[in-house]
Amino acid sequence: MSCEHELNLDFAKVGQAVPEFKMETFDPAEGFFGEVDLGQLRRDGKWVILFFYPADFTFVCPTELADLAEKHQALKDLGAEVISVSTDTKFSHMAWRREEKLLENVQYTMAADPTGEVSRFFDVYDEETGLALRGTFVINPEGVLASSEINFYNVGRNADELVRKLEANVHLRANPNEVCPAKWTPGEKTLTPGEGMVGHVWEALNG
């Protein structure tokens, strides 16, 4: 991995800019090794989803990556580049993708973070095991971290909720004066905060 700006000292924080960095990758769609460049994705106007998981050839992880693969097209349609990340090498990614049947529909980029530098920056690195916790991070096209979620090893994630959160973030980027209430999905009412709404959110949602 190489960095345009060093990923040191501070952790990634929601609402703050993420430094540009690069990681080596395996591209299942093409069958080739390559590199992902966060700076280039930013210049391309992409949302970026970083999906950290503990390790290749494990147990919960392939179920998560298969679930994410089912939602990959929906996330792409929203303008996102999906990148799974673990501390394994790109060679391990390639072998795992080839051997594990649950991964046969995975077409998104699989990035390698063998030094743990990126995992440390996103505060998912476990120093005792050398593995990454289950972290999901959404970075907007301006390079700002819009969403952060970290789970322990033993609980898998739900890609449906990731799609919903990205839908909400895409809507709010286009409508910055609005906010999305709990369980919001496209087409439902949003809220526009103001003095008149204080203590009257029910009326705003049901009026």
Just list the catalytic residues: 61
CA distances from 52 to 8, 95, 150 (A): 19, 18, 9
Alpha helix segments (H runs only) across the chain = 38-43, 60-70, 72-77, 90-99, 117-121, 159-174, 201-206
C-alpha 144/C-alpha 16 separation (Å) is 5
Quick one: tokens of 46?
């992409």
159-174 and 60-70 helices, crossing angle to 10°: 40
How far, in whole angstroms, is CA 76 from its chain's centroid? 12
